[in-house]
Chains A and B, each alone.
Chain A
Amino acid sequence: MRFNIQFRGKEYKVEIREEEKEVKIKIGDKEFSFEREKRQSKGFSFEKRDFSKKEILAPISGIISEIFIKEGEVVEKGQKVLTLSAMKMENEIISEWRGMVKKIYVKKGDAVKKDDKLVLLE
């Protein structure tokens, strides 16, 4: 499969070859091989979380595009708290708990990294 792609204004020739055990991607004259690998564990991204705190963390890196809550407000479990845009995806972040919004660490337009604190509830 051959494509021309544009990234940050620059054009690249890309060739993707799928083989039994690996996928080869050639970009320009450089070739990259990716081994097909079975995932060892699932959900590891939450291991770092401190579950004693009702803290909403960024699940992925991105830009805060909208905030739907205010400090002092009570949010319900499952309520939408903000949207995070990443890789041209809109990600609605919902609260995992019911609680009062003690602190909003971010504002609209902020760039956040995965696991950055977004909201603290109590």
Chain B
Amino acid sequence: MIIKRYNKVTSTNEIAKKIKPSPWTVILAKEQTSGYGKEKRFWFSPRGGLYFTVVLPKLEIEDLNFLTILIAYSVAKVIKEKLNLEPFIKLPNDIYLNQKKVAGILIENVIGKEVLFSIAGIGINTNIDKFPENLQNIATSIKIETKRKVKNLELLKAILFEIKEQIEKIKT
């Protein structure tokens, strides 16, 4: 698994779609200027958060139905087990802590005769100290909830390991 690190990007999904790297390449950024979720909705992505896109291996079209849930499950599982928290999955693609959004997932696929390219973009509010006023009631960070700093790289590696394990299960 190769991790390409960037300081500041528009969005890790945009970079992945542009350079189309090989499966299991990860685009990791310290901040995103135009991070987005479903329907191109803005995702607040300042420094401190964990923002990455993982290029997935070739999948069958019928596997796509489960993909978002599978990735959300992987992220929530790691947050629960590694950080000893109680995440709540709002199906299919958002993760909440204490009734506020803490992570979001956006899968993007390119499909022709078959699935040609799939990426999973993941944004986790890890070490964000404060949200803008319009987000304060709907978003939170792990640091705000636990008063502890998260080691982003360790969390990333655990999530990647979990995603790989889950994807390999559906591919067998």
Contact = CB atoms under 8 A, between A and B. Distances in A.
A3 B76 contact: yes
A5 B111 contact: no
B88 A4 contact: yes
A102 B97 CA distance: 50
Contacts of B93: 87-88
Interface string A81-94: 00001111111111
Interface residues of A, number: 30
B75 to A, nearest CB: 12
A88 B37 CA distance: 9
B107 A88 contact: yes
Interface in A1-41: 1, 3-7, 16, 38-39
Interface in A51-94: 59-60, 65, 78, 80, 85-94
B67 A5 contact: no
Contact of A60 (B65, B73, B105, B114): B65
B91 A7 contact: yes
Given A89-B107, A89-B109, A94 B116 contact: yes
Contacts of A90: 38, 106-109
Nearest to B62: A45
A18 to B, nearest CB: 9
Nearest to B117: A92
Contacts of A86: 64-65
Contact of A46 (B69, B88, B89, B113): B113
B172 interface: yes
Contact of B61 (A6, A39, A59): A59
A96 B113 contact: yes
Contacts of B113: 46, 96
Contacts of B89: 3, 5-6
14 contacts: A1-B80, A5-B88, A43-B60, A45-B62, A80-B110, A87-B67, A87-B68, A87-B107, A88-B93, A89-B106, A89-B108, A91-B110, A94-B111, A96-B112
